[in-house]
Chains A and B, each alone.
Chain A
Amino acid sequence: MSDADDWSGVWVFGEVRDHEEASTCALELLTKGRELADQLGQRLACVTFGLDVEQYLPDFEAHGPDVVYYWSHADFKHYNPELFVPPFLKLVKEKQPNVVLFPATEAGSDLAARLAVELETGLTSHVTNLELVNDEEVGPNLLVMDKPAFGGNTMASIVCPHHRPVLVTVKPGVFSKKESESNRKVERVAMPYESESDGLVVRQVAAPQRSDPPTAQLEDAPVIVGGGQGVGSEERWAMLEKLAQLLGGKVGASRNAVFKGWAREEQLIGQTGVTVAPDVYLCLGISGQVQHNVGVLKSGIIIAVNKDPKALIFEVADYCVVAKLEEFLPKLLEAVKDQTRLK
């Protein structure tokens, strides 16, 4: 293995979503990647695949890369590990990037994990912050990746000191996207490709049907009512849903509420769920484990209700209500019904 210092460049997997658009998360990662690349004095590259992928390149290019490597072919219309991994791997081995960032989507996470095995390198997933620090032991410009640790209020800073490339996955909404202001000329590199689709191990025996994964549309909701274990029962969960409806908001959930079956997986808020940024986050019966809290820090205001005065959620709330939900929720629901009726 060559020296870690020989590896240079920050790369971003430019995921094309549903063969319809350049994924927002990829644009967020390009924006953050530009910052990291500038600090490192290295180049930022976007690596993308798709059918007629040229149409998405302007979006990627507007967010700061120096170069875009792309494969344009019908084989890449839809993510397939058997088709995406080999060419990506080949390019990584040839160009030796320092860091590769992937959206923590189904495709991005799968691709990153498989590349990690092929390259026998470290993968850190669902990170909530990236920073370059000068470490006494390891050296300058060590990439530090923050993520929630095993519970409570604890975060961990992860490093990959010696193995390259450093692979990272990041959920949508963790970083912000911003179009680059510079008039940088982006180099486009069309990658040669000969179809491998005849040799696939997993074969489709019929034409696929479109079936979008369910979404709770939490990312853009201006009001979110989040529920946790403290809601206590399905009946009270129904009240929470009614409350959200009256407030014109969407319903989010903690892992416990999903576990109990009151909410679906796509409603999960937090590190491995959705990162939200509503104007108002009303949070009922959620204890506030760090994995949940990191997903709500961008909220305008946070109102938390919990019967336990020591609940961790109160540390990140603007308004702290210590109350039992069996008493508080029905009364809040009635009060809200009254208020909306007045107008």
Chain B
Amino acid sequence: MNYETGRVRRQHVELATNPDDLHALEATLRLREQYGGTVTAVTMGPPQAAASLREVLATGADRGVLLCDERFAGADTLLTSRVLCAALKKLEPYDVVAAGCHSVDGNTGQVPVQVSQRAKIPLVKKVREMKLTGDAFWAKRNFGHEFQEITAPLPVMLGVDKYWNKPRIPTLAGIRRAYGKELSTWDAEELGFGLNFNCARDSPTRVLRVFPLRHARKNEVISGTVDQQVARVCEVLAAENVLVKRVRE
């Protein structure tokens, strides 16, 4: 974390593929098994993200695209959605886009929704069953407090979470094959952005400051043997009327 700019110092942090995205990958691999087609993995990140893409290729994706440019750094979700949608445009035609619902860094959950709105493709989450038929999509899904049966024309976007499936792990053969697969890097120019494009500057939101959470509490230390600690905690619970009240019927 860079406390001056309030941004994450990604070059010093070990990068890993977002867990929900592995479930998204698994969803596309199963669709390919059922219906044929090709799976393209797209990631926006610093150069080290290529390693993550290689892993995804080893797991079974057919090709990888890394969206990488200094000018993408510092993007909030709005700018991220602009970059991702520019990549989607270049990847047309496509039938299904799968994205993980939640990320372990920012966890706003906004990116799939914003890509859906910008690219004008419906986002479908919490799917129990689904089918592709010709150029249409059918599914049973949870939406709010309803369980619905829906159809929509392709392309659709799937918002995948960890309850959907169990992701496969790469095999040795898969790892070897990965090195023969195409991994392209697209920068801002390649995506059609002008020389003036700058995510850090153009993001509507920015960090004003960072500060430590301050919350004053008693901080009374309960020390001693484990038995003594347990006894004291029970005293505290009794004082709060938590233990005494709970009478076994």
Cβ contact within 8 Å between B226 and A323: yes
Cβ contact within 8 Å between B205 and A159: yes
Confirm or deny: B28 has a beta carbon within 8 angstroms of a beta carbon on chain A.
no
Within 8 A of B (CB), among A306-343: 314-323, 327-328, 331-332, 335-336, 339-341, 343
In the complex, what distance in Å separates the CA atom of A141 from the CA atom of B89? 40
* Interface-located stretch among A24-32, A106-114, A172-180: A106-114
Q: Mark A92-119, 1 if CB is under 8 A from B, else 0.
A: 0000000000000011011001101110
Cβ contact within 8 Å between A121 and B204: yes
Q: Given contacts A155-B212, A213-B142, A321-B229, are A205 and B222 in contact (CB under 8 A)?
A: no
Chain A residues within an 8 Å CB radius of B206: 158-159, 161
Q: Given contacts A109-B109, A154-B213, A158-B208, are A327 and B248 in contact (CB under 8 A)?
A: no
Question: Residue of A at shortest CB range from B204?
Answer: A122
In the complex, what distance in Å separates the CA atom of A88 from the CA atom of B143? 20
Within 8 A of B (CB), among A161-187: 161-163
Confirm or deny: B151 has a beta carbon within 8 angstroms of a beta carbon on chain A.
yes
* Interface-located stretch among A42-50, A63-71, A196-204, A229-237: A196-204
* Interface-located stretch among A6-14, A53-61, A296-304: A296-304
Confirm or deny: B34 has a beta carbon within 8 angstroms of a beta carbon on chain A.
no
Cβ contact within 8 Å between B231 and A343: no
Q: Which residue of the partner chain, among B124, B217, B230, B244, contacts A316 with CB atoms under 8 Å?
A: B217
In the complex, what distance in Å separates the CA atom of A290 from the CA atom of B215? 11
Cβ contact within 8 Å between A158 and B205: yes
Q: Given contacts A113-B117, A318-B220, A331-B227, are A208 and B207 in contact (CB under 8 A)?
A: no
Q: Which residue of the partner chain, among B76, B212, B240, contacts A279 with CB atoms under 8 Å?
A: B240
Confirm or deny: B91 has a beta carbon within 8 angstroms of a beta carbon on chain A.
no
In the complex, what distance in Å separates the CA atom of A297 from the CA atom of B216? 10
Chain B residues within an 8 Å CB radius of A153: 212-213
Cβ contact within 8 Å between B209 and A156: yes
Q: Which residue of the partner chain, among B116, B218, B230, contacts A319 with CB atoms under 8 Å?
A: B218
Nearest-neighbour CB distance to chain A for B21, whole angstroms, equals 15
Confirm or deny: B210 has a beta carbon within 8 angstroms of a beta carbon on chain A.
yes
Cβ contact within 8 Å between A280 and B219: no
Confirm or deny: B168 has a beta carbon within 8 angstroms of a beta carbon on chain A.
no
Chain B residues within an 8 Å CB radius of A341: 248
Confirm or deny: B8 has a beta carbon within 8 angstroms of a beta carbon on chain A.
yes
Q: Which residue of the partner chain, among B8, B223, B230, contacts A332 with CB atoms under 8 Å?
A: B230
Confirm or deny: A34 has a beta carbon within 8 angstroms of a beta carbon on chain B.
no
Question: Residue of A at shortest CB range from B107?
Answer: A272
Cβ contact within 8 Å between A294 and B219: no
Q: Given contacts A107-B144, A109-B110, A113-B110, are A315 and B219 in contact (CB under 8 A)?
A: yes
Cβ contact within 8 Å between A201 and B220: no
Question: Residue of B at shortest CB range from A123?
Answer: B110
Cβ contact within 8 Å between A332 and B211: no
Question: Residue of B at shortest CB range from A332?
Answer: B230
In the complex, what distance in Å separates the CA atom of A328 from the CA atom of B222? 13
Q: Which residue of the partner chain, among B114, B240, B247, contacts A343 with CB atoms under 8 Å?
A: B247
Chain B residues within an 8 Å CB radius of A79: 144
Chain A residues within an 8 Å CB radius of B109: 109, 113, 125, 272
Nearest-neighbour CB distance to chain A for B27, whole angstroms, equals 18
Cβ contact within 8 Å between A327 and B207: no
Cβ contact within 8 Å between B213 and A331: no
Chain A residues within an 8 Å CB radius of B248: 340-341, 343
Within 8 A of A (CB), among B189-217: 203-213, 215, 217
Confirm or deny: B12 has a beta carbon within 8 angstroms of a beta carbon on chain A.
no
Q: Given contacts A248-B245, A322-B223, are A163 and B204 in contact (CB under 8 A)?
A: yes
Cβ contact within 8 Å between B245 and A211: no
Q: Given contacts A117-B117, A144-B208, are A210 and B1 in contact (CB under 8 A)?
A: no
Q: Which residue of the partner chain, among B113, B138, B205, B221, contacts A114 with CB atoms under 8 Å?
A: B113
Cβ contact within 8 Å between B246 and A155: no
Chain A residues within an 8 Å CB radius of B150: 202-205
Confirm or deny: B40 has a beta carbon within 8 angstroms of a beta carbon on chain A.
no
Cβ contact within 8 Å between B210 and A301: no
Question: Residue of A at shortest CB range from B218?
Answer: A318
Cβ contact within 8 Å between B236 and A203: no
Chain B residues within an 8 Å CB radius of A327: 226
Chain B residues within an 8 Å CB radius of A5: none
Cβ contact within 8 Å between A154 and B212: yes
Q: Given contacts A150-B8, A211-B142, are A223 and B233 in contact (CB under 8 A)?
A: no
Chain B residues within an 8 Å CB radius of A322: 221, 223
Cβ contact within 8 Å between B145 and A123: no
Cβ contact within 8 Å between A122 and B145: no
Known pairs A210-B145, A210-B146. 13 more at Cβ < 8 A?
A113-B113, A123-B108, A123-B205, A155-B210, A157-B210, A203-B151, A205-B151, A208-B146, A211-B145, A211-B146, A279-B240, A322-B223, A340-B247
5 inter-chain pairs at a CB distance below 8 angstroms, sorted by A residue, are: A109-B110, A154-B1, A246-B246, A293-B215, A320-B220
Residues of B within 8 A of A (CB): 1, 6, 8, 19, 76-78, 81, 102, 105-110, 113-114, 116-118, 122, 124, 138, 142-153, 203-213, 215, 217-223, 226-227, 229-234, 236-238, 240, 242-248
Residues of A within 8 A of B (CB): 18, 78-79, 81, 85, 106-107, 109-110, 113-114, 116-118, 120-126, 135, 144, 148-163, 201-206, 208-213, 223, 246-249, 259, 272, 279-280, 282, 290, 293-294, 297, 300-303, 305, 314-323, 327-328, 331-332, 335-336, 339-341, 343
